[in-house]
Amino acid sequence: MPDVVSYIREENIAVIMIDNPPVNAMSHAVRKGVWEAMDKLNADEGADAAVLICAGRTFIAGADITEFDKPPEDPRLPDLIARMEQSPKLLVAAMHGTALGGGLETALGCHYRCALATAQVGLPEVNLGLLPGAGGTQRLPRLAGVETALEWILSGRHVSAAEAARHGVIDEIVAGDLREDAVAYAKRLLQSGAPVRRVREMKIDRTGISEDFFAGYRPQLAKQHRGFYSPPRILDCVQAAVELPFDEALRLERMLFDECKASPQSRAQRALFFAERTISKIPDVPKDTPTRDINKVAIIGAGTMGGGIAMCFANVGMPVELLELQQDALDRGIGTIRRNYEATVKRGRLTGEQVQERMALIKGALDYSDIADADLVIEAVFENMDIKKEVFSKLDGLCKQGAIMASNTSTLDVNEIAAVTARPEDVIGLHFFAPANVMRLLEVVRGAKTARDVIASAMALGKRLKKNSVLVGVCFGFVGNRMFFPYLREAQRMMLEGAAPERIDKVAYDWGMAMGPHAVADLSGLDVLYKVIEEWDYKPDDPTFFRVTKLLHDMGRYGQKTGAGIFKYEGRTPMPDPQVAEAVGREAAKLGIEQRDIRDDEIIERLFYSMINEGALILEEGIALRAGDIDVVWTSGYGMPRYRGGPMTYADMTGLKNVRAAMLKYRDRYGDRYWRPAPLLERLAREGNTFSGWRAA
């Protein structure tokens, strides 16, 4: 028997122990080991029951995802679970840590389940573009009910032991030593004459499940999981659990699982899964790099960004001081924070008591001296280099030694900001994304002289704030905004060529983006975009470059904030505006740009291939460490759908030769100012390689 699984007997109870660190993934070796343990159990005349338990910090936390792209090896998990369920000897799963995916499915194949109160269970396969493929869609509805099972599977969330027990998924919560208590529980079950209870033989409670329940569920599902491949198939499987015999429904589940696994969406989501777990790996900042204590945090600026950043800290229980130099500005900022929290209460996501607890963590300050003892100061003032330099000059003379001084700049040179201080090693960029209290992305911007322990501290802080923290280098716009500019540049250029902005946005939205490029520009503010473009030292000498932004800015159309930008607004709903179409048409005529019909596929190529090419330049320049880091930036901060995997994974799956060919097509039409393939793209396309497989020399 492989070492990853052991079998011993304590009196009349066998203990099957899985020890496959770090998370006891259900790899082939584990499956084989458990299968052989079942052989031993069946042959062991002294064993009346068995406990399945795991060593280390968790129960089985899922399948071994690295095996998904390899030929399957027997025993497959569904076959193993079926064998366990058919055991004539009583089986008890003893859970701690997390029992997720194939781990929970394995537990559902046991006859009874006990767990520590701290355990969590769940079926998160939807987050990988999959569905539970080892009986999860069939057994969970039999225990928890149809609606609960659908909610758990479609959300992929982790469920507490207490909630799982309320729904009959956990039979016993234990408080002492898990192994001792599980063995004792198995003995009590035997003594009480408890039957071998197979979930597959249970009837599904159809209370509240009308004949048209599933048909009525589909429109809601399509809205909540727009564009995703696996959720409708999850619904198909749960519907089959209700309507078909168990074995027939199980075969459907397995067929649909295999379809999902082979889909481009699942491959993209699995790539993103690994990318999100790799972003913390920094070659010259090892895991054991010391970090600085960050207990007292101060934020300069109580505007939209400063207030949102303050909420990030309060949301995880960290006290924060919010500095404004005028009382009315401070009052407005704190008032906005309170209104944001109260809106969350109305949506049922917070209680009034929780709001009070979080507001109590946010203190106002009116003088720089009030924040002199902060461990971390984050500047969130207006995006202007002179203003930021002034702030950092003050901080340099004020902050205690060892304090980290961070800028929330979204485009400006962190090295230039750091240069006004006598301690540039303490300066770093912490670029939060609006709304900061919602968006998961944090770009950690490493300056030329930023100390390694400051980098390690910033990355650790991001994890504490529950952000996807991506380390990036210094350039205009870093990673996210640098790639956003060609995306928006092409959107506006296509307006000049005759494509209506609402059509461009619809094509982008239908491709999967949370919002189209023009709606994003209006939301961010065309006045802000105009100022950034005007102050961009190295912008191209091109009269068409963001010409629409300048045109509308000069017309006083700043976006949602003025009720009119690229679109006009009824509340927050964007509406096409003939006035914009006429003005853009006149501007195109002045520039000598002929208007024409533009196909959807051209819109997609110009929006995303321009972005991808910029990503290739970013990689080669070392601004991002890996292609996966870029993917995390775009899926966590810019509304790119997870099922695309991010721009670089999308490029890999499209084929870099195809991306390069399209680049050359547009170069022939527009010249090589914007459409010259990046050297890295050229090389990888020629070699037949991918961005994901590329590593810097």
- What 8-state DSSP symbol labels residue 18? E
Q: Give the Å distances, CA to CA, from 368 to 338, 363, 377, 394, 429.
A: 24, 14, 11, 8, 20
Residue linked to tokens 């573009």 = 129
Q: Is 48 helix (H, G, I), strand (E, B) or coil?
A: coil
**From the CB of residue 106, how many other CB atoms can be counted at a distance below 10 Å?**
28
Tokens coding 338: 């309170």
Rounded to whole angstroms, the Cα distance separating 228 from 266 reads 10
SS (H, E, C) 325-359: CCHHHHHHHHHHHHHHHHHHHHCCCCCHHHHHHHH
Q: Is 288 helix (H, G, I), strand (E, B) or coil?
A: coil
Q: Which phi and psi (to 5°) does residue 25 adopt?
A: -60, 145
Tokens coding 267: 């491959």
Residue 430 pairs with which residues in a beta bridge?
444
Rounded to whole angstroms, the Cα distance separating 537 from 517 reads 23
**Is residue 582 among the annotated active site residues?**
no
Rounded to whole angstroms, the Cα distance separating 600 from 602 reads 5
Q: Give the Å distances, CA to CA, from 582 to 441, 488, 496, 522, 649.
A: 38, 20, 11, 18, 39
Task: Note whether 140 and 122 are within 8 A (CB).
Answer: no
Task: Note whether 221 and 154 are within 8 A (CB).
Answer: yes
Tokens coding 690: 């991918």
**From the CB of residue 403, how many other CB atoms can be counted at a distance below 10 Å?**
22
- What 8-state DSSP symbol labels residue 169? S
Q: How many residues does the chain have?
A: 697
Rounded to whole angstroms, the Cα distance separating 330 from 362 reads 11
Rounded to whole angstroms, the Cα distance separating 490 from 507 reads 13
Tokens coding 302: 């109580």
Q: Which phi and psi (to 5°) does residue 308 adopt?
A: -65, -40
Residue linked to tokens 């051209």 = 602
Rounded to whole angstroms, the Cα distance separating 626 from 430 reads 19
Which one from 85, 125, 502, 614 is the annotated catalytic residue?
A: 125
Residues contacting 364, CB < 8 A, separation 6+: 302, 321, 322, 323, 324, 330, 334
Task: Note whether 52 and 83 are within 8 A (CB).
Answer: no
**From the CB of residue 642, how many other CB atoms can be counted at a distance below 10 Å?**
21
- Looking at residue 550, its amino acid is K
Q: Is 614 helix (H, G, I), strand (E, B) or coil?
A: helix
Residues contacting 401, CB < 8 A, separation 6+: none
Which one from 11, 73, 85, 105 is the annotated catalytic residue?
A: 105
Please give the full DSSP string across 256-284, using - where no structure is assigned: HHHHHHHSHHHHHHHHHHHHHTTTT-BTT
Q: Give the Å distances, CA to CA, from 155 to 125, 150, 447.
A: 9, 8, 39
Tokens coding 396: 């340099």
**Residue 509, H or E segment:** helix 501-511
Comparing C-alpha atoms, which of 113, 80, 81, 109 is closest to residue 94? 113
**Is residue 151 among the annotated active site residues?**
no
Q: Which phi and psi (to 5°) does residue 288 adopt?
A: -90, 10
Active site residues: 105, 125
